Structure 1
Amino acid sequence: MARLTLLGRRSGRAVADVDEETRAHVAGAASAAAAEVAGPPTIHPDLTGAAFFDVDNTMMMGASLFWFARGLAARKYFTTRDMAGFVWQQAKFRIGGNEGNPDDMHTIRENALAFVAGRSVSEIVAAGEEIYDELMADRIWAGTRALAQQHLDAGQRVWLVTATPIELASIIAHRLGLTGALGTVSEVVDGKYTGRLVGELMHGPAKAEAVLALAERECLDLARCTAYSDSANDLPMLSLCGGAVAVNPDTELRAIARARGWTIRDFRTGRKAAKIGVPTVAAAALSGGLVGGALALRRRNKFPF
């Protein structure tokens, strides 16, 4: 965590007024610096090949942040009203993406992790481990996990690449036996969150920046790497690697994958496919009975993600 703290001190405040491209670059560099870089997993390691997996809808059914938020709400970190705000904000983010509404993205960025400001990283990590076991473990797509294992068996390293906070992303990666994760990095000072991000949310171009930075650091040959995602928002990362696989793809990504000859893997069937096919957090909100609260929420909510 020392590396994360150092980046927060040097970069967190300095990027407040710079453009989106610079924030994405800073976020990617910070995430790559914080990522674990264990050696390849076999006695015949592939030193230059790797795989990068998105999390929400790709590795996991639904949105990891929703389940993380639900677990934190159960632990009284914030109120049901705040939870409704989170659902609504995430639904808009999922539908519109980074470019959909700059004002919304500014709000998300400025409010990031505000509810844990002053809390220790160790406290949130401990909560995240419990929440993963309680709410997330049973939502991992077995098919996608098998794809990741194929890379591990081939001696390649496997990283998750997600907008989820890097602490939670790393927990998911560890539980799945993967190398590590690239996620959204928060500023940490003296082991506690300040309530600010380092750069940008790990979304869209920031994911590509993180993969680029990690590839340079680990001497990976991106032409020999493979990226996996369900969303057209991840085209920068998918296009960066020599191999791209659309997993449980949204309509736009499915069309692009067909046009470009990318592999498509869909692990959804029947009713489950219909449920997962709609914006993920909105679906989770419906199943959790939170829509009424979401419609009545304050314009600016306290839950930051």
Structure 2
Amino acid sequence: MAATSADQPRNLTSRSMLAGQAAAAASEVESALRPAPDPKVAAFFDVDNTVMQGASIFHLARGLHRRKFFTTATIAKAAWQQFYFRVAGVEDPEHIANARASALSVIAGREASELAEIGEEIFDENMARRIWPGTRARAQWHLDRGHRVWLVTAAPIEIASVIARRLGLTGALGTVAEQVNGVYTGHLVGEMLHGEGKAVAIRALAEREGLDLERCYAYSDSSNDLPMLSLVGNPCAVNPDSTLRAHAKANGWRIRDYRNGRRAAGAGLKVAGTGAAAAGLWGIGRKVTRARSRR
């Protein structure tokens, strides 16, 4: 017997109730399967060539250049600084300071909300497809076990936060540019988050959050991050440079290489000299230098 029009609302109501009950049951099952948070354990990931291929600051700088934040003349100056580093093999403090000042002048007077919006666009344009699947899977492994997962990078906190949020991670620690009333001043808050600075930041976070560093994990591709890696009980070298690979082997650390073949650590878009990379302009210089070398 066909249902009458009077029956239809009752049937719709009944089906809606059943659907709601099923959804609630599924939610309960999902909650039961979700691991309980482990408040003592966190994993710390470097970004450049660890979480993503190449240097995040390079992709940010390229996006800002397309949006007319700075000129080609700025790139030429950065190229010279990059050339000097490659020949001399040392990070010249004056060059780093000049590069940092140039990078900060690019955003001085700009609203932080503008850069945040641009960072979201640049992630979609240049970064999303460069995330290493293996590292992302490892970060998810930690999340699935109730661990907090933090990015720790010399790159600007704005872009680090975008990457962390898009990957569903806990948060990010990065280099902080000073703001007054939501506008960049052209100065840093403290120093770039580089080398020993990363270890200092992690210690402070561990103290604040009650983490047991002996149970924590850290991941990086660079020997510059040995202070961070040595701070935790479970260090792992990811796509390591030759120095880090040798150190990891000598100390029995885990090594994970997600690259195609055994490329040198300087291959791709990796910025030589992380201090300069955080300043922002050497990454562009490297791209220009490599482009010219192909001609």
Shorter-chain TM band: 0.7 to 0.9
Contact 1:170 1:181 in 2 (8 A): yes
Of 138, 150, 153, the match for 2:144: 153
Work out which of the two has the higher radius of gyration on C-alpha atoms and give 1 or 2: 2
Q: Tell me the amino acid that sits aligned with residue 74 of structure 1.
A: R
1:151-173: CA deviations, max 9, x gaps? 10000000000011001100000
Q: Is 1:229 aligned to residue 208 of structure 2?
A: no
Measure how far apart 1:113 and its partner are: 1.7
Corresponding residue for residue 181 of structure 1:
172
Distance 1:127 1:202 in 2: 22
Tell me the secondary structure at the aligned position of residue 274 of structure 1: coil
Tell me the secondary structure at the aligned position of residue 185 of structure 2: strand
Mark the CA change 1:222 to 1:251 in structure 2 (over 3 Å): closer, same or farther.
same
Corresponding residue for residue 56 of structure 2:
64
Distance 1:96 1:153 in 2: 45
For the aligned residue pairs, the C-alpha RMSD in angstroms reads 2.9
Measure how far apart 1:257 and its partner are: 0.2
Mark the CA change 1:121 to 1:287 in structure 2 (over 3 Å): closer, same or farther.
closer
Contact 1:188 1:194 in 2 (8 A): yes
Matches within 5 A, 1:104-183: 104-183=95-174
Mark the CA change 1:136 to 1:109 in structure 2 (over 3 Å): closer, same or farther.
same
Q: Unaligned 5+ residue runs, structure 2?
A: 1-33, 273-281
Distance 2:238 2:87 in 1: 18
Measure how far apart 1:149 and its partner are: 0.5
Alignment coverage as a number of residue pairs: 251
Contact 2:242 2:265 in 1 (8 A): no
Distance 2:113 2:36 in 1: 35
Contact 1:246 1:265 in 2 (8 A): yes
Contact 1:85 1:294 in 2 (8 A): no
Measure how far apart 1:280 and its partner are: 1.4
Q: Tell me the amino acid that sits aligned with residue 291 of structure 1.
A: T
Corresponding residue for residue 289 of structure 2:
291
Corresponding residue for residue 54 of structure 1:
46
Mark the CA change 1:82 to 1:112 in structure 2 (over 3 Å): closer, same or farther.
closer
Q: Percent identity at matched positions?
A: 59
Contact 2:236 2:256 in 1 (8 A): yes
Contact 1:119 1:193 in 2 (8 A): yes
Measure how far apart 1:291 and its partner are: 1.8
Measure how far apart 1:220 and its partner are: 0.6
1:203-247: CA deviations, max 9, x gaps? 001111111111111111111110000000001100111110000
Matches within 5 A, 1:85-96: 85-86=77-78, 89=81
TM-score norm. by structure 2 comes to 0.77
Matches within 5 A, 1:186-265: 186-265=177-256
1:121-164: CA deviations, max 9, x gaps? 00001001000100110000000001101110000000000011
Distance 2:85 2:153 in 1: 14
Contact 1:245 1:263 in 2 (8 A): yes
Report which stretch shifted further, 222-231 or 276-285: 276-285
Mark the CA change 1:52 to 1:187 in structure 2 (over 3 Å): closer, same or farther.
same
Contact 1:225 1:241 in 2 (8 A): yes
1:267-286: CA deviations, max 9, x gaps? 0123xx53764371379769
Mark the CA change 1:265 to 1:292 in structure 2 (over 3 Å): closer, same or farther.
closer
RCO comparison, higher one (Cα < 8 Å, 6+)? 1
1:64-105: CA deviations, max 9, x gaps? 0111111111111111232343455467679989x7322223
Tell me the secondary structure at the aligned position of residue 263 of structure 2: helix
Q: Tell me the amino acid that sits aligned with residue 70 of structure 2.
A: F
Distance 1:276 1:139 in 2: 16
